[in-house]
Structure 1
Amino acid sequence: MASEATTLTVPSEHGDREMRISSPSRVLWPELGITKLDLARYLVAVGDAFVAANSDRPISLQRFSSGIDGEQFFSKNPPKGAPEFVRAVPVTYPSGRSHPQLVIDEPAAAVWAAQMNTIVFHPWASRAERPDEPDELRIDLDPQPGTDFDDAIPAAIELRSVLEEAGLTAFVKTSGNRGLHVFAPIDPVREFLEVRHAVIAAARELERRMPEAVTTSWWKEERGETVFVDYNQANRDRTMAGAYSPRALAHAPVSCPVTWDELESVDPTSFTIETVPDRLAATGDPWASLHETPGSLDTLLEWWERDVRDGLGELPFPPDYPKMPGEPPRVQPSRARKG
């Protein structure tokens, strides 16, 4: 039986690459009929902006066996059969174990990942050459039950002011779901734990300014109808969907950079695999200048130290992390009271 495979030409600075796509008609998003070939073509269409945002970083691939409704798993190690132009870099995980992790440097590598059934791309906050020292401060604004995307907007705008007061330039994108991601470029001179502390300091300052709307509470039972500032996304080996990455949701959304001027009027559901290429061609990339003005974490870390002196110390880590210095008990508050 003849193979259904096709070939997609992907431009690169090294010349055109002919990338094989097997099962190009495989439907990944059933409600819209978007196929594997459609996904590969999307990654070519947004290739320059995708690479600018996600390249030269350790990256995890969220792969699906048979579309968004099929089984899924995260692939960190370079899969067998990777093209010669797809590289890997050794990284250290929270357990202390070190292992090579995939790096994407050009659109053809993203297309190859799509050929390997990748739908969501999760880049680290650090560069491949300095994986222990992030060059991006990232803050995930996650609306809790009873709130939605519109509730995240004022939180993001106020967070921008907080970061500006700390000497950082903030950029924003939709998460591709209900929330917002706020990034700020930083000098890559601090380890992940210090960056996490800087994020917590910013989150606590935001919480002071918007106490009814924002929370830093790790335990869901304490959050209420607020926007949770997920500080644990700043940890080593914790990632969020990259800019221009598709998401595995029914309407094929994309985590899409937006300008601060348009934030209050955007509809996040309008940013999809089918619409974002035209948007990018018409308006350009709002994150094109993201790394032009990296800032220092000195002010945020001064706020962290001030809060520690005032009795606000470390916050809980994810459950798969080793017990960390100064961390409070990992016990759900309601259960702790019962004890």
Structure 2
Amino acid sequence: MASERITLIVPGTDGDREVDLSSPNRMVWPEVGITKRELAEYTLSVSEAFLRANGDRPVSLERFRDGIGGESFFSKNPPKGTPDYVDAVTVTYNSGRRHPQVVLNEPAATLWAVQMNTVVFHPWASLAGDSDHPVELRIDLDPQPGTDFADAAAIAPLMRDVLADAGLESWIKTSGNRGIHLFCPIEPTHEFLDVRHAVIAAGRELARREPDRVTMNWWKEERGARIFIDFNQANRDRTMAGAYSPRSLPTATVSTPITWDELPGVDPHAFTVRTVPERVRTVGDPWAEFAARPGRIDTLLEWWERDIADGLGELPFPPEFPKMPGEPPRVQPSRARTPE
């Protein structure tokens, strides 16, 4: 028996497109009863804000064939049969390998991604026209065991102050889970390793100011009940859930841009696939002017060089990365061999 299929008409700058949606009644979030069709409708309802934040850049698609309770996989390369209104750009990965990666530039393309069972959208920090030079500096405030969203919310304004001291304007969003993301628009003048070093410099500065509440320790056993600044999210091909992207969590939460004024009383669990469209309709998009005033990371790189001179070196990279110059040993401290 052929699977159920519907066709949605999607307006775009090049006119209306017909996009087929198979298995529209399949449960994506069974706990709250959200179907694939409802996810498609969500994507279309927030498409303007979504594409402003995530369009025109390489994006990895986190796909779930059987809803969020099933297995998932990441799709980067355009699969066979990708329609011509879904763009692509050739990017260089950390291994040096080059390959085309999906780029979403119109509502029909985001709907196609949903048809391909995408739930979470992971955009790069760089644009398709120059994928080697980020246009965003991203800070991931990651609560560790013993801390929660409220702890991250208390730290976020302090990180904002650090970044302001470096001449950068911060924009904020919920992660869709327990964390908070600060994004700063930057001029595309440096490659990913430099931006990573800028993030490390900002994190180290905040950790100096708040050593009991903030940590830069890569190894979990050394973090304690503090907020971890996940500096490795700034690496090439390491991504966070994009603004307005759903998350693969039981209640269908969404990574949602908010204003700084909203932060003290915000409930991240209130932003879901069902509630965010009304928020966008009535409140608008807090990130609408995000790209208007890009800053530079020069001051943060000066801090990086200052810290290097003071004896603070490179920090560990993720295990799948090649060994990097100046990187310390990739061994958990408790397993390191003690010199005899």
TM band (smaller chain): over 0.9
Which residue of the partner structure matches residue 232 of structure 1?
232
Which residue of the partner structure matches residue 175 of structure 1?
175
Structure 1 residue 315, shift from structure 2 partner: 0.3
Distance 2:325 2:3 in 1: 56
Which residue of the partner structure matches residue 126 of structure 1?
126
Which residue of the partner structure matches residue 270 of structure 2?
270
Which residue of the partner structure matches residue 223 of structure 2?
223
Which residue of the partner structure matches residue 64 of structure 1?
64
Letter in 1 for 2:284: G
Which residue of the partner structure matches residue 149 of structure 2?
149
Which residue of the partner structure matches residue 33 of structure 1?
33
Structure 1 residue 81, shift from structure 2 partner: 1.3
Distance 2:181 2:257 in 1: 9
Distance 1:174 1:203 in 2: 19
Structure 1 residue 338, shift from structure 2 partner: 4.6
Letter in 2 for 1:19: V
Letter in 2 for 1:48: E
- Aligned alpha-carbon RMSD (Å): 0.9
Moved more, 75-84 or 183-192: 75-84
Q: How does 1:88-107 map to 2 (within 5 A)?
A: 88-107=88-107
Identity %: 67
Structure 1 residue 224, shift from structure 2 partner: 0.3
Q: How does 1:16-27 map to 2 (within 5 A)?
A: 16-27=16-27
Q: 1:209 aligned to 2:206?
A: no
Which residue of the partner structure matches residue 44 of structure 2?
44
Structure 1 residue 133, shift from structure 2 partner: 0.3
Post-superposition CA distance 1:268-323 (Å, at most 9, x none)? 00000000000010000000011000001110000000000000110000000000
3-state DSSP class of the match of 1:120?
A: strand
Letter in 2 for 1:323: K
Distance 2:71 2:149 in 1: 28
Distance 2:333 2:120 in 1: 34
Letter in 1 for 2:87: R
Structure 1 residue 3, shift from structure 2 partner: 4.5
Which residue of the partner structure matches residue 293 of structure 2?
293
Letter in 2 for 1:331: V
3-state DSSP class of the match of 2:290?
A: coil
Letter in 1 for 2:94: P
Q: 1:190 aligned to 2:190?
A: yes
- Residues 1:40 and 1:338: Cα distance change in structure 2 (over 3 Å): same
Structure 1 residue 87, shift from structure 2 partner: 1.2
Post-superposition CA distance 1:72-125 (Å, at most 9, x none)? 000000011111111110100110111000000011111100000000000000
3-state DSSP class of the match of 2:82?
A: coil
Post-superposition CA distance 1:145-195 (Å, at most 9, x none)? 110000001211111111111111100000001000100000001010000
Distance 2:200 2:303 in 1: 9
Distance 1:102 1:164 in 2: 34
Which residue of the partner structure matches residue 111 of structure 1?
111
Structure 1 residue 69, shift from structure 2 partner: 0.5
Which residue of the partner structure matches residue 163 of structure 1?
163
3-state DSSP class of the match of 1:291?
A: helix
Post-superposition CA distance 1:207-255 (Å, at most 9, x none)? 1111100000000000000010000000000000000000000000000
Distance 1:49 1:265 in 2: 23
3-state DSSP class of the match of 2:302?
A: helix
Q: Which runs of 5+ in 1 are unaligned?
A: none
**4+ residue runs over 4 A deviation:** none
Distance 2:164 2:322 in 1: 33
Letter in 2 for 1:252: A
Q: TM-score, structure 2 length as denominator?
A: 0.98
3-state DSSP class of the match of 2:336?
A: helix
Which residue of the partner structure matches residue 137 of structure 1?
137
Distance 1:90 1:78 in 2: 11
Letter in 2 for 1:37: R
Which residue of the partner structure matches residue 5 of structure 2?
5
3-state DSSP class of the match of 2:74?
A: strand
